Amino acid sequence: MSNILKREAVFAVTGLVTVLMFVEYFFFPQDWIVASTIRNWAVIIYNISLGLGGVRLIQQHVMGTQRRKENWQFSALFLVAFVVMLLTGLAGYLGTGVATSNGIYNWLFVNVYTPLGSTAYAITGFYIFSAAYRAFRARNLDAALMLVAGCFVILSNAPVGEVIWSGIPAIGEWFRFVGQVPGMRAFEVVGALGMIAYGFRALLGKERGFYAGGAEE
Amino acid sequence: MSDQNIFDKLQNIDRRVFYWVLFITLMVPFIYPIGLPVKVVQNTRDLYEGITGDNINPGDIAIMNFGYGVSAWSECAPGFTVCAKALFREGARIVFMGSQYDVELSMNKLMNDAREDFANKVYGVDYVFLGYFTGGESAIAQLATDAWTVYPSDHYVTPDAQIPLMQDFHGWQDVTVVLSSDTGDVGSYFLRQWQGSHGTRLAEIGIAMNGSTDYPYYLAGNYFGLSIGSRGGAELEVLIREPGEATTAMDSINASHLLIVLAVILANVGYLLSRRKA
């Protein structure tokens, strides 16, 4: 029974949904209630999976804290933050329908979450700076070409490039549109073809990894 | 370490030195602004022209998607703000929504940054904030066919039936233009489920890192316009003639970009000379 649920049932549902979506795309250009309903289910399932993710996260960190695993203090901090945000957010939501109407929740969001988020993003600039210095070495011709192209693109992205030399934006743009775009196009087209191939293999039951957790046939 | 020659030292400068140099370099322009002119590139101009003039009529509905969180405000928010201002000034109605759970903070920032434009508009009539959605590409596809099932109410839990603007918005047929500003994939969901499937006019206000992914779609005409990173935001501020956050940030962008190139040159001079010596 469990094998049927794990393999055949999943295979059948995947196949059915795929066929229905194909039918809608080719035969119902406006809207088809069957496909629309299934998409609604997908959104609901997606939301349930978010809840499951939250539960799993709590389990993991409770376990980590209880067993005093490495860095368990962070797990404990996570649990405290989770509970505080959940309770204050719910209090706001139950009161007015908007979580941020709760003063504590809003204060934490604006004064803790926002600066932390901005800092985490901004700090990557420092790492990129250091990494560029260490990694961009002209060890061979290929690396040298990439380095030169990279420098032109970097400078063309900032107004200062044009001040240094009016040709920099033009060269940077050439690298961007003539050098990079064709490669990216090829990458994206090949990726799309790969997705189609993967879809067909899944439909034919040859791609089992995503639902049986096992090797392909 | 002491037997290192000058060339080796050039290659192995302590990273903390770079952090301090970068920090100071980024700070200086904030204290003494330089204000180099920003040249507007074609993809940004196409975006601006696509939401102004003959391309948009009073009463048209535009979707603006916050696909970025607070961490990407510096890159996405300025361009997004200019586009909202431009659409409002053309008399368009805007449906705001977002795929990031902190979307409310981004909406609050937008309302603050464009407060003069919002002051003349009526909530529910000229604009509506639908809030956060989950469901990824399925939700975007469903939004195209039956928007009310994805958002039965707005962010403030007012049912769609009580919102005047929502009476005119049920799916892709009602929307003139979609602007998505992303750090992730939501723009490509709109591309597949709206632009590709129904021909909806779509533009992207993305982060600089996604520029290389977005260019092919812009050149192919899938995106009618494209704003890339803080630079794109600054260009949009030039076009609307209202310098803002991105214009201010351009000085720091200039300094940091120049510094990165100088650091790379420094390291390579050391590397090449040490190799020649060896």
Which range has the top average pLDDT, A115-129, A197-211, B20-34, B154-168? B154-168
**Which pLDDT tens digit goes with each residue over A49-84?**
999 999 999 999 999 999 988 889 999 999 999 999
Residue A217: per-residue pLDDT: 45
| Shortest distance, CA B85 to any CA of chain A (angstroms) | 24
DSSP secondary structure of B185-209: SHHHHHIIIIIIHH--EEEEEE-GG
Q: What is the ipTM of this complex?
A: 0.83
Whole-angstrom distance, CA of residue B231 vs CA of residue B36: 12
Residues of chain A found within 8 Å of residue B212, distances taken between Cβ atoms: 176, 180-181, 184
Put the strands of the sheet holding B127-132 in their side by side order. Answer: B127-132, B93-98, B61-67, B177-182, B201-206, B223-228
Nearest to A155 among B71, B105, B261 (CB): B261
> Taking CB atoms and an 8 Å cut-off, how many pairs form between chains A and B?
161
For residue B182, the cross-strand partners are B67
Residue B175: per-residue pLDDT: 97
Residue B43: per-residue pLDDT: 95
Burial class (CB in 10 A: 0-12, 13-18, 19+), B72: buried
- Give the helix, strand, coil percentages of chain A, each rounded to 5: 85, 0, 15
**Which pLDDT tens digit goes with each residue over B191-205?**
999 999 899 999 999
What is the token pair recorded at A115? 């600066």
Contact B19 A151 (CB under 8 A): no
DSSP secondary structure of A120-148: HHHHHHHHHHHHHHHH----SHHHHHHHH
List the one residue out of A12, A34, A3, A5 whose CA is nearest residue A21. A34
Q: Are the CB atoms for B186 and B158 separated by under 8 Å? A: no
B-facing residues of A in 15-54 (CB < 8 A) are 25, 30-31, 35-36, 39-40, 42-43, 46-47, 50
Give the DSSP H or E segment for B104. Answer: helix B103-113
Q: Are the CB atoms for A175 and B212 separated by under 8 Å? A: no
| Shortest distance, CA B171 to any CA of chain A (angstroms) | 10
Mutation choice for A interface testing from B8, B18, B251 by most A CBs within 10 A: B18
- A28 contact partners, CB below 8 Å, separation of at least 6: A35
- How high is the mean pLDDT in each 10-residue block of chain B (278 residues)? 69 86 87 86 96 96 95 93 97 96 92 96 97 92 93 93 97 96 92 93 94 92 95 96 92 90 89 79
Give the DSSP H or E segment for B95. Answer: strand B93-98
What is the token pair recorded at B128? 């509506």
Helices (H) and strands (E) in chain B, counts: 13, 6
Q: Does A157 touch chain B (CB under 8 A)?
A: yes
**Which pLDDT tens digit goes with each residue over B96-129?**
999 998 899 999 999 999 999 999 999 999 999 9
For residue B66, the cross-strand partners are B98, B181
